[in-house]
Structure 1
Amino acid sequence: MKSTVEKLSPTRVRINVEVPFTELEPEFDRAFKQLAKQVRLPGFRPGKAPRKLLEARVGREAMLDQVVSEAVPGRYSEAVTTTQVNPLGQPEIEITKKEYGEDLVFTAEVDVRPDIELPDLTTLKITVDPIEITDEEVDAELQSLRARFGTLTGVDRAAQNGDFVSIDLSGSVDGKELPEAATEGLSHEVGSGQLIDGLDEAIVGLKEGESRVFTTKLVAGEHAGQEAQVTVTVKSVKERELPEPDDDFAQLASEFDTIDELRASLREQVERTKRVQQAEQIRDKTLETLLEQIEVPLPENIVQAQVDDTLHSAIHNLDHDEARFAEVLEAQGSSREEFDADNRSNAEKGVKTQLLVDAIADKLEVQVSQNDITERLMLMSQQYGMEPQQLLQALQQNNQLAAMFADVRRGLAVAAVVQGATVTDSDGNEIDTTEFFGRSGEQAQTDAPEDEPQADEAPADEEPADTK
């Protein structure tokens, strides 16, 4: 088989493939043997009919079509391997020559990963916000902890923000009742904004047994985008009494003996949260800086596929009703034009980021270990509330293991870039990134005990793990 590549653009190629007929003859033999078992010819036992009679019965062209349709996918994959093309998505295949006894000729146009020129990644400089912890933030954590140990007490007054109420709700659109909007005995914290727009404002000032009608715009369901008249009735009003923030409370709510020790622990929690947030900002700023500095050609078909997929997901629950979708967007303060523009922008950025990080992973020869995969499975199983083995089976059944592997590799590639970059906060302080991004290879080898193998070495009696 012969195959050559024509570069149509930085992100698209045409693979020209010629398959000698002699290579297809074994496949014709298998096809005729299978056909002989299925077709009954007078005077011949099943599977024993001569090939020439079968050709006359079925037709040589029909057999040629069958063999070619079965052979082309495999020959395309072989051509991709031999030409070292990195395809993205499915190819557009055109058979240009198909005659019995002669070479099979076809072309395959496919989007490919572009060649990306990468700079010296060790010169990368990243600047993020400094970590600052205020007394108000610690007080907020203490207040949240006190709320967990608070008690609700009924009050004989009008509801106000911060109260807990039991309410009944009913709604209508243009005078028609909405059964799906009716509920009784719903518990709600006034001022939380967790239900529908306008509800908290309607509740404030109502006493037990009192009702109020207000208008709100529905954002989901059959009447999404339409205005509804909602009636709220307050069944009970309770206020939350919080325990005093003293040593007794510290002993009740924690392992600490004093409130000062508890506050110190809460300050550490705030700091930990901010370190995680800063690590996320470091990752995002690293990608943003790379995208600003490096040109990444975009394969239009891949971008369009992501645009279409996002749009499909957005309107799937609306029965793909474009008019209703426009109403929902309007209720959210947006429009179809804004949605389409944001959708394309996000798709372009997403595809560009993946292509860039994959190129970096190749350049840095990033390897994914079994431990990396296990850690990701454990994290995902916690997020989805599934056992790791159950999640693994689900990923296998949905052909998502390769996507997870690629995502893990990209994460390792970004971590490697951060390890080699200079990361400071806006105050000029250098940030130690090892907690969330690990040590660079050079650091890790320097820190490793002398009697243990280095990270890139395998013990003499062990084979390296197969991560393919």
Structure 2
Amino acid sequence: MVQNTVSGKLEEIKGRGVSSTPVDFRPVASSVDQLEDNKVKITVEVDESEVDEAIDLAFKKISKDVSLPGFRPGRVPRKVLEAKFGQDYARSEALNEVVGRNYRTAVISHEVDTIEQPEVTIIEGEESGPLCFEAIVATRPSVEVEGYKDLTITLPPLGATEDEINNQIDSLREQAAEREEVARTATIGDFVTMDLSGSQDGEPEESLTADDFTYEIGSGFIVDSINEGLIGAKVGEVIEFAGDHPNEEGVVLSFRALVKKVEEKKLPDLTDEFVAEMTEFETVNLLTEDTRNRIEEAKKQQSADLLIEEIGSELAELVVEDPPETLIQEQIQQQLQEMAMRMAQQGMQFEQFLAATGQDIEALAENMKDPASKVVKIDLALRAVAGAENISVEQLDIDLEISNLAEHFNQQEDQLVEIFHENGQMLTLKADLLKQKAMKFLQENVEIIDPDGNPIEREAFLFLENQDKEENMSENVDEESTTIDTEEEEHSE
């Protein structure tokens, strides 16, 4: 349960283009002082020339936005604007832009992990001269996760059971099954042909009526009571059953059915001839072995995913402090946005979903609060584990991730790096990589057992995804280094 927030952010950036308010990377005179309650004070000094430049731009914007008699938009002289609006108005507009831009630059250059909007106080320069301002802002807190080294994770056994193998093979036999009419009463798995008529709240409903309707008992119907009604029924019998409408609260659906035929399913014998006809294998033994292998491979992948999920859940339990409400609300908003995006991909508007489920956005957000709090706790816990274990993110890690993301989003690597910088996402990228490393550490060190308490060897299922890519990246770096050394030697000769 390690979220890749950078990937999600890139989807957003890719959809709308590079941010319209990119970070300015001109040198900024700034300092950071640690305060109490996970807050910091960022002090920033800005040259008067930069303020004057911003004032010029402010007047140009005002000139484009206003309409004055005798002047075309964008052609109003500055002196006319100063006379009408005053110097203070343009300076105020300029300071808002300068403060915001330099604050973002200072936050990124000092890698301050802010979680709220800052409280800004202008110390000098509100009326004239160079600018100095202070920004007090809350940062992501650190938490304690005592006991993370003693975690024990229980996972299902990795081996395929005989029932699982037989069920898989029986599904193949089902494809070639035949139906045979029987004189007995109907039971689970039988096919019943009936004349069916339905009503809604006592009124006949044509869409619920059908002659010679065939249903496999236990396969699922608009109301579950059909199964109870049909089990034990015989040809010529009339049965009645009812149930709540699955999508409309308070609406009752009633049915009347005349049983016309009962058929049982006859599966073909499992023979080498059947296997050769239906599959790529020649014998039952070969099919059975392949089925076993496929089940066990699927279980290995499921166990790898489940291990991450269970580690996350256990970590969240170790975080005793309540996470900041700001982070919880941010996570809720992210989940709502992801939900809306998924629905849009399926052709449904978010408002339609709310109407169909009888919810409002406030109730939905409230229901998300506990899961969101858990996600935030996992995030904080993984950062804490990384700190306790001296886990760090190296440039090689960043280069590898940039390469992977560039391939995924079909972007040039240098363009992707530029996007990260312009949108202030490099710190998020590093945090994601740090949490991934912390999770990898836990995957390699927690105790893993099956439900009976027997140890499970992690090597049997744990796939460390980036291991080969990291080795390839290291080899490339070594090759480049060797090439450079060789060129230097040739040059010296």
TM-score for both structures, normalised by structure 2 = 0.65
Report the counterpart of residue 377 of structure 2 in structure 1. Answer: 352
Shift in Å, 1:348: 1.4
Give the equivalent residue in structure 2 for 1:31: 58
CA contact (8 A) 1:37 1:46 kept: yes
Q: Which consecutive unaligned segments of at least 5 residues does structure 2 have?
A: 1-28, 341-349, 412-418, 484-493
CA shift in 2, pair 1:229/1:293, >3 Å: closer
CA distance, structure 2, for counterparts of residue 107 and residue 176 of structure 1:
71
Tell whether 2:451 aligns with 1:431: no
- Classify the secondary structure of the residue corresponding to 1:214: strand
The equivalent residue for 2:200 is: 172
Residue aligning to 2:276 = 251
1:112 Cα offset (Å): 2.8
Confirm whether residue 216 of structure 1 aligns to residue 247 of structure 2: no
C-alpha distance in 2, partners of 1:371/1:120? 34
Does residue 231 in structure 1 map to residue 255 in structure 2?
Answer: yes
State yes or no: 1:365 paired with 2:392: yes
Cα deviation, residue 423, structure 1: 4.5
Q: Structure 1 residues 461, 199: CA separation in 2 closer, same or farther (over 3 Å shift)?
A: farther
**Deviation of the 1:147 alpha carbon:** 1.4
Q: 1:127 to 1:95 in 2, by over 3 A?
A: closer
Q: How far is the alpha carbon of 1:288 from its aligned partner? A: 4.0
> Which residue does 1:9 correspond to in 2?
37
Contact 1:416–1:437 (Cα < 8 Å) also in 2: no
Partner of 1:229: helix, strand, or coil? strand
Partner residue in 2 for 1:91: 117
Q: CA deviation at 1:77?
A: 0.7
C-alpha displacement of 1:61: 4.1
Residues 419 and 440 of structure 1 are in contact (CA less than 8 Å); yes or no, is this contact kept in structure 2? no
Query: Aligned pair in 2 of structure 1 residues 255, 79: CA closer, same or farther (>3 Å)?
Result: same
Highest relative contact order (Cα 8 Å, sep 6+), 1 or 2? 2
Contact 1:4/1:17 (<8 A) preserved: no
CA RMSD of aligned residues (A): 5.0
Whether the aligned pair in 1 keeps the contact of 2:30 and 2:42 (CA below 8 Å) is no
- CA displacement, residues 142-193 of structure 1 (integer Å, 9 cap, x when unaligned): 22221133234566776432134577574424x46778x7475877532134
For 2:275, the aligned partner's letter is A
Matched, 1:138 2:165: yes
- CA offset at residue 21 of structure 1? 5.2
Partner of 2:328: 303
Percent of aligned pairs with the same amino acid: 26
Q: Is 2:217–2:230's contact at 8 Å kept on the other side of the alignment?
A: yes
User: What's the counterpart of residue 52 of structure 1?
Assistant: 79
- State the alpha-carbon separation in 2 of the partners of residues 375 and 91 from structure 1: 31
Structure 2 counterpart of 1:151: 178
> Once the 2 structures are TM-superposed, how far is the Cα of residue 415 of structure 1 from its aligned partner?
2.7
What is the letter of the counterpart of residue 457 of structure 2? I
Structure 1 unpaired stretches of 5+: 327-335, 378-387, 391-395, 464-468
SS at match of 1:216: strand
Distance between the aligned counterparts of 2:36 and 2:161, measured in 1? 57
- Of the structure 1 ranges 307-316 and 55-64, higher mean CA displacement relative to structure 2 is found in 307-316
- Specify the SS of the correspondent of 2:274: helix
Helix, strand or coil for the counterpart of 2:252?
strand
1:70 maps to what in 2?
97
1:201 match: 228
Contact conserved, 1:3 with 1:18, CA < 8 A, in 2?
no
Match for residue 330 of structure 1?
none
Counterpart of 2:289 in structure 1 is 264
- For the Cα contact (< 8 Å) 2:223–2:242, is it kept in 1? no
Equivalent AA in structure 2 for residue 437 of structure 1 = F
The superposition leaves residues 356-382 of structure 1 with CA deviations (integer Å, 9 ceiling, x where unpaired) of 3355568533525259836995xxxxx
Q: Partners in 2 of 1:69 and 1:347 — Cα distance?
A: 33
One-letter amino acid of the counterpart of residue 37, structure 2: S
